[in-house]
Structure 1
């Protein structure tokens, strides 16, 4: 199958690697210095937990060629940059466009793509739990992931037809990579912020280094997420993935989440790859996601969220965060 991966960060690059491994004809869209590295050296990924390095050679382009056709397009861009590629995605000739990543405007983005599309398209949304960073000097990506990887994927408020699900599942055949079909990706993406924003608050409070966090602060982090999930449920927003909120409640799952926080804090490499590197390099995205989530919170002004407010109060204001990390963005 002929696939375009629009975006060459950690998530897009790992996705391209898996699609290459499955035997697809993969094209990556990249720009600038990283495009040159990909053309010169190929897609070089160091898989941190797996202790291995892989090298793939997808085709690399810098812009959309409107004569090219693809069986599917995966657009992997930070939330604060994705609006800039909606028009190119509308121009690309493919029946499937999957927007991968944090997104608090999925309905508007879907409408924008479909309104200007040059062909019949279906827009889906996905989230891949992959983290890491670029090593520009070595021309290598360092990737942090669990197992072979997975993507939660679905339509705005529905599952795709079986034919579409089978087609996309086939793209990852024999790789171990899983597609987890979700019935309401708009709700999924909202729920995801209940989990990740408290991590960002604490990372910024600790000057981008979770090893400086205390056990008490990490407990605030889990309790803040618990409050956020409860607030969403009170508003009638489905919790997706189903029962994900139980990882923030008392019990075995809650203890597991607290232990994962402990690992992130005690192992600087893991903490950086999983959370802090993204917070340092995508503070604009984190601020936009926070602003969007605060609008949801404002619909329940009397809902008690003391741990959320306490944790967020530990970090600097967003203007200070932007100044602090402006020179680190690459």
Structure 2
């Protein structure tokens, strides 16, 4: 496949590296010092103690718009921070719509696919999530990652809401991931899977940014662990606003998953430490907004949002 990775951060670089190594034609986008390092030295990936290096094709969005048509790519994978999705659509929307192709969001939150579907139509949008992975930019051109690094993908918002057959691109990309030795699952209800992941993100990201603790220390703390669980419970409650019915079993499974996962610094904690904008709206704000729609309270999320916004 010919694949475009929009945003070569920890997630985009990790999956892009292995997709390229398995024979796919992969193009990356980046900017600033990170782009310069990719162009000069290639991509370096450090995963579970092993270092991998490869030359890559990396460009700015401007270069991309001038030298490529969107449908030259079989699949475009969006791995930007969720708060950058609107800006990306404003910048590259006409480029995407002039020659549409399939776009997969591998981002935090549950609203990125809605933004893309408003632009392209849901027939061109795939939802996805990266699970059991911690990955971040260690230095320009260098990525450090840990975990099994699985991908779950599916047609947006789910198979049942597609009047026509689900795009074959879903099964095709699943096969491509398998050939690249990337564990993956195809979901018939990807919107539900995104809300399940949001449970974890909402549970640990804000509290890790507040406390400075990694996921293992946070979830296994005598008192803080119960706060994580409370944040996750409020996510379960809020999901009903999108017609997603999560259960106590979902909550227990997701809490046990993050509680037993290798200790990692959350993306929100990393962003805070490096003075970058945190994904507050896509992780906490979405729970508060959906809770307001339903007329219910979300006191844990309200507290976390207040504490984190008071620092910015």
**TM-score by shorter chain over 0.5:** yes
Q: Give the Cα–Cα distance (whole angstroms) in 1 for the partners of residues 226 and 128 of structure 2.
A: 29
Q: State whether structure 2 residue 88 is matched by structure 1 residue 85.
A: yes
Residues 19 and 229 of structure 1: is their aligned pair in 2 closer, same or farther, counting only changes over 3 Å? same
Partner residue of 2:52 out of 44, 51, 54 = 54
Match of 1:320 in 2: 310
Which residue matches 2:162? none
Instruction: Show the 5 A alignment for 1:26-175.
Output: 26-47=26-47, 50-63=48-61, 64-68=64-68, 69-87=72-90, 88=92, 90-92=94-96, 93=99, 95-105=101-111, 106-114=113-121, 122-129=124-131, 130-136=133-139, 139-146=141-148, 149-159=149-159, 161=166, 163-175=168-180
Aligned position for 1:21: 21
Quote how far apart the aligned CAs of 1:66 are: 4.9
Structure 2 Cα separation of the partners of residues 145 and 45 of structure 1: 13
**1:109-137 residue CA offsets vs partner (Å, 9 max, x unmatched):** 3122359xxxxx71212111332222226
Secondary structure of 2:269's counterpart equals: helix
Question: Could you tell me whether the CA contact under 8 Å between 2:205 and 2:267 is conserved in 1?
Answer: no
Distance 1:80 1:274 in 2: 13
Shift of 1:62: 1.3
Other-structure match for 2:279? 285
Give 1:32 deviation, angstroms: 0.9
Give the match's secondary structure for 2:65: coil
Contact preservation (8 Å) 2:216, 2:258: no
Judge conservation of contact 2:7–2:80 (CA < 8 Å) in 1.
yes
SS in 1 for 2:83: coil
Unaligned segments of structure 1, at least 5 residues = 116-120, 249-253, 265-270, 323-330
Q: Residue 285 of structure 1: CA displacement?
A: 1.4
In structure 2, the residue matched to 1:247 is 253
TM-score by length of 2: 0.80
1:90–1:114 CA contact under 8 A, matched in 2: no
- The verdict on how the C-alpha distance between 1:168 and 1:235 changes in structure 2, with shifts beyond 3 A counting, is closer
Q: Distance in 2 between matches of 1:288 and 1:255?
A: 23
What displacement does 1:290 show? 1.3
Bigger CA drift: 176-185 or 274-283? 274-283
* Deviation at residue 77 of structure 1 after TM alignment: 0.7
Q: How does 1:233-272 map to 2 (within 5 A)?
A: 236-239=243-246, 244-247=250-253, 257-260=258-261, 264=263, 271-272=264-265
Matched positions, count = 294
TM-score scaled by length of structure 1: 0.76
Counterparts in 2 of 1:311 and 1:26: CA distance versus 1, 3 Å: closer
What is the RMSD computed on CA atoms of the aligned residues?
3.3
TM-aligned CA deviation for residue 8 of structure 1: 0.7
1:50-98 Cα deviation digits (max 9, x unpaired): 2201112221111323553112111111110011222525514463211
